[in-house]
Homo-oligomer: A and B are copies of this chain.
Amino acid sequence: MIYITRRERFNAAHRLFRPDYSDDQNMEIFGKCSNPNWHGHNYTLFVTLKGEVKPETGFLANLKDLSTIIRREITDKLDHKNMNLEVDFMMGKLASTENLAISIWEVLNEPVKQLGASLHCIKIEETENNYVEYYGQ
């Protein structure tokens, strides 16, 4: 069993808030992250696959193919976008890094199987001081 990780990046706007709360209530819970005029981040995404090395290539999976899947399914939809308004797999969800990691897992879990590997971990760095990891359960 070996683990390979591909790093991809995207820049997005978001806002943490509940639509059933007033701006004041959202500010109390989410602080400046609830700014109604949005803010944004350079997000760094790490996708880790696990499985066995294929003897004919020496690869667990071709990282170029993994990158293609991540860009098509995830970062092309998030990059230079508003996470709350424009990203299909985040619609109706609180735009926290936790929910983003879980949602990306759900989107990628099936497509990466065509590479002959299993999804192991989604890690997202929101700032240099914060990151979230999700292992699918």
Q: Which A positions have Cβ atoms within 8 angstroms of B?
A: 1-9, 11-14, 16, 18, 29-33, 35, 37-42, 48, 53, 56-60, 63-64, 67, 79-82, 85-86, 93-99, 101-102, 127-135, 137
Contacts and interface: CB of A to CB of B under 8 A. Distances in A.
Query: For the complex, would chain A's binding face be called helix, strand, loop or mixed by DSSP majority?
Result: mixed
A102 B52 CA distance: 11
Each complex incorporates copies of this chain amounting to 6
16 contacts: A4-B132, A8-B129, A9-B128, A11-B40, A11-B41, A13-B40, A14-B40, A16-B58, A18-B56, A32-B79, A37-B86, A39-B81, A40-B41, A53-B102, A58-B95, A58-B96
A131 B121 CA distance: 13
Most chain B CB neighbours (cut-off 10 Å) among A8, A37, A102: A37
A130 B63 contact: yes
A4 B37 contact: no
Contacts of A14: 40
B7 A37 contact: no
A80 B58 CA distance: 18
B39 A40 contact: yes
A2 B37 contact: no
Given A2-B102, A39-B12, A128 B7 contact: yes
A4 to B, nearest CB: 5
